[in-house]
Amino acid sequence: MSHNLLQGKKGIIFGALNDQSIAWKVALKCHEQGAGIVLTNAPIALRMGEINKLAEAINAPVIGADVTNLSDINNLIEKSVEHFGGKIDFILHSVGMSMNMRKGNPYTDLNYDFTLKTMDISSISFHKVMQAAYQKDAMNDWGSIAALTYIAAQRVFPDYSEMADAKALLESIARSWGYHFGIKNKVRVNTISQSPTRTTAGGGVKGFDGFMDFAEKMSPLGNADADACADYVVTLFSDLTRYVTMQNLFHDGGYSSTGVTQTVIQQMEKQ
């Protein structure tokens, strides 16, 4: 349902690969609420994914950008401002990749070259995007920037490997930039700690089905799906959340605040 919460607003969305992606859902919801969108992803993702189908559906240009490459990011910001004919109101960072997980390397035996790449893609890229937008004065006053994270930044999930470290860094970067962007022009910066969600990236985590099942049993409201996450992102991009910044916001059905549930107790007692 459209309430025109983003009417007249303009934003960049990173990471829409296919219709399973949270970023894809966010783009659709933002468009539904009246926003203009620029879509972006890495060149390899543009070749492998279905982003052009989304672009056609929401009448959005696609500007490729390797998030580890400052020249690409600067070009993306400049071309987006040019496309919109003015500054940007919101940015979604929905980017993450771990070569160690892809190669099956456990946390106790990391390839550190892979780890540095993980950090660059999954968290330092967030800093690079905001630095480019800040230095180019590309954000409108009272704009909003958000990134997707996971509770593994605070708690141990053994098979999440060094992505947990990357998410912790991502959340720290959000806090620091929230201060600097807030002082400059009231732009707020937050991270959204989402329930485990069946996406192309999420499904690649070892034991993911177990994550999903356990989180469902531990969440009073159940797991939040990608559509619900997209709705939440819309509220953060809207003017209704102008004073929410530098926060890690749990969107997880209550999982993060629950010690144990009766369902889990009963399941353990049966064993």
Active-site choice (107, 112, 134, 150): 150
Asked if 179 is an active-site residue, the reply is no
Tell whether 21 is in a known binding site. yes
Sheet strands side by side (includes 188-194): 36-40, 10-14, 88-93, 139-149, 188-194, 248-251
Asked if 160 is an active-site residue, the reply is yes
Rounded distance, CA 172 to CA 127, Å? Answer: 10
Rounded distance, CA 24 to CA 28, Å? Answer: 6
For 172-220, where are the E strands, in sequence order? Answer: 188-194
Q: What is the DSSP letter of 21?
A: S
Tell whether 244 is in a known binding site. no
Active-site choice (112, 134, 160, 255): 160
Tell whether 172 is in a known binding site. no
Structure tokens at 211: 């994550």
Tell whether 238 is in a known binding site. no
Tell whether 15 is in a known binding site. yes
Q: Residues 61-69: contacts with CB within 8 Å, 24+ apart? A: 62/38, 63/38, 63/39, 64/40, 65/14, 65/40, 65/41, 66/42, 67/14, 67/42, 67/95, 67/121, 67/125, 67/128, 67/129, 68/117, 68/120, 68/121, 68/124, 68/125, 68/128
Tell whether 66 is in a known binding site. yes
Q: Which residues are catalytic?
A: 150, 160
Task: Provide the annotated binding site for NAD(+).
Answer: 15, 21-22, 66-67, 95, 167
Residues annotated within a binding site: 15, 21-22, 66-67, 95, 167
